[in-house]
Amino acid sequence: MSLEDSLYPLLKLYEAAPQPLKSLAGRVYRSIPSSLRYGPAYKQFQYEAQQVESWDAETIRSYHITALRNSLIAAAKAPFYAERFAACGVDPAKFNTLEQLAGYPLLTKQDLILHREQMVNPEFDARQRLYITTGGSSGVPVGFYLHKGVSRPKEQAYLEAQWSRRGYRVADRVAVIRGGVTTSKAGGGISYFDATRNWLTLSSYHLGLNRLPEYVAALNHFRPQHLHAYPSAALMLARGLEQTGLKLDFKLTSLLCGSEKLTAESQQYLEQFFNAKVFHWYGHSERVVLAAQGRTSDHLHFWPTYGFVEFGAPDAEGNREIIGTSFHNHVMPLIRYRTGDYAKIKDGEILEIVGRDYEFLVSATGRRISLTAINMHDRIFDGLLAVQFFQEQAGVVECRFQPGPQWQRNQDAMRIGILRKLGDDFTLTLREVTEVEKTSSGKHKWLVSKLQQ
């Protein structure tokens, strides 16, 4: 068990504490050796991430067979998987070729919503499980369990390994604009210092021309080596600086941009404007597969030791759905999980992840709120089958939600949670629906906007 996982339930208390108390607690925590903070698995995954880049195809294939067999065996202990595997006539103990995986059933987000508790490996008790929720990039809320002492240390090790490709080093100063809530007031504070990681968290909810001088002042005082931001937030910052003539009086080493699509044109603009390298990657809360730009290439490459990736049949535009099987999380393995994300592939290389576009709600005072920021880990959507925001007037938002059988019907908590992120210059209406609006191809839409943006 890692100390970080043990303290995770106290995270919201830490974030709500006064800054002096946060700084004191954070410095104490950061002084603890990483082997204790993240647990022994952290070092194992650090080593694995370093070594895999030199592995040949046969070594990777052998690793895949072993890791997949372990995940399948762990999954088969759960009632949900045991029943489905038996119906398909597959036996994880006999898994010895990658081609056999095609005989196993696909897993959907709806399966997670409807059968989550039956997907848990009973060999692990509640103390070894960490419950996480995500709004889902398509507006489908999902809850699931991570493996304490394994899943989060693994993620930390792999993120650090891939960020190092653009000059990141552990303990570097990092400014973050990624959905951290600093205040629910439109005119409230824009930042706080997270001493546990030596990071300055800046609000992505208040970033606009009228408050840009505050962001510049905070950044110039902190002088980060890296900017860790949603691509939309990084672009808003760059364009704001360009339009106002305000300047950063330090040089960034890199911009770390994830969670949203980043086009080649946008990456080139950011690199030229900040005179720093941009690093882009693809991952998701379920921690099934992870892809990142290479050391010298801007194309995305999946980490072979993180999880196993397959691709669905091409759609009308030639894009293929990303299907993943998780490694190492034996509490709740996800087997052949349909992520709902699509990749554009050419000659065996991933050119881009399709979707995850920049979608914004607009407040009465003109603030632009990225839906990626709203779509953070939060239990307010737990038990819903789908969520969709509708807006046709600035500052007025309707949240349409489709209940599932496990929803607790607590609209007050949902309202409070959403408004905490939107702020006090929004009016929010909640509306229960039997089905949310979908695209012509049947995909969920996270936002329906009638505004001219």
- Work out whether strand 129-134 and strand 142-147 pair parallel, antiparallel, or are unpaired: antiparallel
Tally of structural domains, the chain:
1
Measured in whole angstroms, how far is the alpha carbon of residue 139 from the centre of its chain?
A: 14
Q: What is the mean pLDDT of the chain?
A: 89
> How far apart are alpha carbons 422 and 361 in whole angstroms?
9
Residue 327 resides in a domain: no
What digits encode the pLDDT tens for the residues 249-274?
999 999 999 888 888 899 999 999 99
Residue 357's region, left for phi above 0, alpha for psi from -120 to 50, else beta, is beta
Residue 435 resides in a domain: yes
The domain in which residue 437 lies consists of 360-449
What digits encode the pLDDT tens for the residues 268-296?
999 999 999 999 999 988 999 999 999 98
Residue 289 resides in a domain: no
User: Which pair of tokens denotes residue 237?
Assistant: 């910052």
What digits encode the pLDDT tens for the residues 206-221?
888 899 999 999 999 9
| CB distance 92 to 67 below 8 Å | no
> How far apart are alpha carbons 244 and 240 in whole angstroms?
6
Residue 68 resides in a domain: no
**pTM of the entire predicted model:** 0.85
Instruction: Please identify which residue in the block is written with the tokens 């290479």.
Output: 294
Residue 425 resides in a domain: yes
Q: What is the mean pLDDT of residues 97-122?
A: 95
Query: Residue 385 is part of a domain; what is its CATH number?
Result: 3.30.300.30
> How far apart are alpha carbons 376 and 371 in whole angstroms?
9
Give the pLDDT of residue 135: 63
Q: What percent of the chain has pLDDT over 90?
A: 56
Tell me the residue length of the chain. Answer: 453
Quick one: which H or E segment has residue 345?
A: strand 337-346
* Residue whose C-alpha is closest to residue 402's, from 416, 422, 415, 388: 388
Residue 403 resides in a domain: yes
Residue 437 resides in a domain: yes
Residue 441 resides in a domain: yes
Strand locations in 153-299, DSSP E?
Answer: 174-177, 191-194, 199-202, 226-229, 254-257, 277-282, 291-293
Give the pLDDT of residue 321: 93
User: Which pair of tokens denotes residue 202?
Assistant: 């800046």
Backbone angles phi, psi at 435, to 5 degrees: -160, 140
